[in-house]
Amino acid sequence: MMEGLPGLNTYEIGVLVAECREKALDSYVRNVYGVGSKAILIKVWKPSMGSGELWLAAGYSVFYAEQSVEKEPTPSSQVLQLRRKVVGKRINEIRQVGGERLVTVGLDGFEIVVECMPPGNIVLVKDGVVEWLLEKFESSTRILKVGEKYHPPPAKHSHPIAEAWPPLLKDHNPKTSIVVALARDLGLGGKFAEELVARAGLDKRKRVEQLSDEEVNRLNTAWLELMRELEHPRPRLYRRDGEAIPCATEFQTLSGLKVTEVSSFSEAVFLAYLEELRSLRMREVEEKSRRELESLEKEKSYRMHTLENLERRKSELEFFISGVEQASAFWEILWQKPDEALEKIRETTGLDAEMQNGKILLTKNGLKIILSKDTSPVKQLGPVYEELKTVRKAVEKLRQEIAEIEEKMNTVSVEYVPRPAVVVKKTTSKPRPFREFVTSGGFRALLGKDARSNIMLLKRHLRENDLVLHTETPGSPAAVLINGSKASETDVEECAQMVGCHSRAWRENFSNVSVYAVKAEQVSFTPPSGQYLPKGSFMVYGPKNFYVVELRLAAFKEDDDVKVVPYLTAQRMNKPFVEIRPGHVKSSDAAKKILTLLGFDAAGERVEAVAAQIPFGRCSIVDKLINP
């Protein structure tokens, strides 16, 4: 579990499992991602729910998010292994094991086990054997590794506490405080323990041995009340000093804190986990920056030390060269009156000077030069000049390197700003009340699915410059072609074909149908005086433009999906497509054929996604890929 998150007990995990089961059961796995080092995110899709994200957080819990987060750009090899094993499979079971903090997710022959108790783990099991796991684990009592039989953690606190409190409390250390006994010994966690004691009106510092039977009964009553509330959650997210505390119901002990009501306990847990993930990333960034700064400081210190030594050597060389150059002024007298000249050289230059074997020896700070009478002193300084030149270059280079290190130290915190991998990106797709497609000319069209959504579409989305399309026969979708008054006849005809294909004419196996188009201002929900407008109906006043369209659709590949659009649209998009007409083939069987022709695997989720786009669940297909 991440250190900043308050732990969830087995009862809270039970609430989350129930929510996940409602949202994700019978959904298909679209993709798998890693989030930090302790969580796996499963992207799921379900025909009746749309897409969402099932989070498996080791050492914490499972929860379902209807919002998406930015994913890591490059998944680890470990995540890719899990992805290859489970993508495309259907989630056929989500359950909590007994009363434990252990959750299993069934996937067509596989089972993902999420160990929600610290330290936590995520394990993929097949026929009882570990196929994949988040972290290897080995102790004197338990081994977790690929190829070994899976053994769950030892069971704890799986008893029905509400029915057995008095004896359980008496079994524990009588000197223990009530809160400690409830939180630690009975496994309720600190948050629940504090709440129960507060609801029972007890002093949390009171020891177990001091509890009367009446006080134990009050605790039992408070517990039963809390359990009833968990059956009908009223989720919220409390905040205290930067800490996010998800709760499945209202907590008296947290009533003074800032609170946000949310739609589900999963959402509260998701938001809390996201905040802690952000904090963790920032701590990681700070730690990385600290280490980088330490490393840079060491590099700078080393170079500064080297620079000091070189600066000293440079000064010594310059002093020595200057002294030798000054000594040359005494060159003539040096050979006539050496003792007098040597003394003057010592006084004037600061160098040590003496005569040796008819030559002059000048020394200082380990530097020396032996001057002969036949050659100018300056000429004999060549090697010293070369060393000074080398030292000066080294000094300049070191100064430049130190400046670069200091500049990097000033910017290192900016360079390590974390990727927005935990930033909420968007709300994931939910079942839309309308069908939608874009014409070949780029005009967006919305179609109702039934009488109720027809009226909703016209009342909520119809604007000036839009066109409304409908058939005169019952059982037709109403369509709004957005900015349709500016669309070409081609675009309007494509929208008309889509309306016709989703009308009852398709079910009746017609080959064509008449569709009309009118302007937005011609549509009204007020009947003529003295007449009644049936529920789900609308009035059209003024002239109508009619289009007789063939009932033909087309399926084509778009990125990683299959789109079903009007035949006219597909023709004009110049993409290979499969033609669909009215018929009696089940949409699921037709979807498999369409997927095969378009080069996809005809499996689970994809089949349902394509089948859902075929009108009335029946059709016929032209058994070939058409290239416009």
Q: What is the 3-state secondary structure (H, E, C) of 11-57?
A: HHHHHHHHHHHHHHCCCEEEEEEEECCCEEEEEEEECCCEEEEEEEE
The CA distances from residue 587 to 453, 578, 618, 625, in Å, are 23, 14, 5, 18
- The span from the CA of 498 to the CA of 506, in Å, is 11
- Nearest Cα neighbor of 199 from 229, 243, 170, 238 is 229
The answer on 535 and 576 residing in a single domain is no
Judge whether 365 lies within some domain: yes
Q: Is the full-model pTM beyond 0.75?
A: no
The answer on 399 and 312 residing in a single domain is yes
The answer on 453 and 349 residing in a single domain is no
Judge whether 324 lies within some domain: yes
CATH number at residue 256: 1.10.8.50
Q: Which of 265, 284, 312 is the endpoint of a domain? A: 265
Report the pLDDT value the prediction gives residue 72, as an integer from 0 to 100. 75
Report the pLDDT value the prediction gives residue 15, as an integer from 0 to 100. 94
Q: For 41-94, how does the pLDDT look when each residue is reduced to its tens digit (9 = 90+)?
A: 999 988 767 788 999 999 999 999 988 887 777 889 999 999 999 998 999 999
* End-to-end Cα separation, the chain, in angstroms: 56
The answer on 485 and 466 residing in a single domain is yes
The answer on 566 and 501 residing in a single domain is no
Report the pLDDT value the prediction gives residue 574, as an integer from 0 to 100. 83
Judge whether 111 lies within some domain: yes
The contacts of residue 467 (CB under 8 Å, 6+ apart) are 480, 481, 484, 485, 487, 492, 495, 517, 518, 519, 520
Contacts 24+ apart (CB under 8 A), 325-330: 325/377, 325/378, 325/381, 327/351, 327/353, 327/360, 327/362, 327/371, 327/377, 328/376, 328/377, 328/378
- The span from the CA of 240 to the CA of 230, in Å, is 23
Mean pLDDT (10-residue bins), the chain, 628 residues:
69 94 91 90 83 92 87 86 92 91 94 92 95 89 90 69 53 80 85 92 88 87 89 90 89 90 90 85 81 91 94 93 86 83 89 88 90 80 91 94 90 56 47 83 90 88 92 88 94 97 94 95 85 78 94 89 93 92 94 93 81 93 88
The contacts of residue 301 (CB under 8 Å, 6+ apart) are none
Judge whether 137 lies within some domain: yes
Secondary structure of 452-464 in HEC code, one letter for each residue: HHHHHHHHHHCCC
- The span from the CA of 271 to the CA of 5, in Å, is 11
The contacts of residue 222 (CB under 8 Å, 6+ apart) are 196, 199, 200
The total domain count for the chain is: 5
Judge whether 5 lies within some domain: no
Q: At what angle do helices 338-349 and 265-327 cross, to 10 degrees?
A: 150
The answer on 458 and 353 residing in a single domain is no
Judge whether 396 lies within some domain: yes
- Nearest Cα neighbor of 247 from 269, 279, 224, 219 is 269
- The span from the CA of 598 to the CA of 363, in Å, is 90
Judge whether 275 lies within some domain: no
Report the pLDDT value the prediction gives residue 425, as an integer from 0 to 100. 47
The CA distances from residue 506 to 442, 498, 499, 553, 616, in Å, are 26, 11, 10, 11, 8
- The span from the CA of 171 to the CA of 316, in Å, is 84
Return the bridge partners of 177, or none: 207
The answer on 368 and 253 residing in a single domain is no
The answer on 454 and 375 residing in a single domain is no
The answer on 186 and 95 residing in a single domain is no
Report the pLDDT value the prediction gives residue 569, as an integer from 0 to 100. 95
Structural domain of residue 138, as residue ranges?
Answer: 10-144
**Which amino acid would we find at residue 438?**
V
The answer on 455 and 357 residing in a single domain is no
Q: Which of 516, 532, 551 is the endpoint of a domain? A: 551
- The span from the CA of 433 to the CA of 446, in Å, is 10
The answer on 541 and 568 residing in a single domain is no
Q: Which of 357, 386, 415 is the endpoint of a domain? A: 415
The answer on 137 and 89 residing in a single domain is yes
Judge whether 42 lies within some domain: yes
- The span from the CA of 93 to the CA of 551, in Å, is 41
Report the pLDDT value the prediction gives residue 167, as an integer from 0 to 100. 53
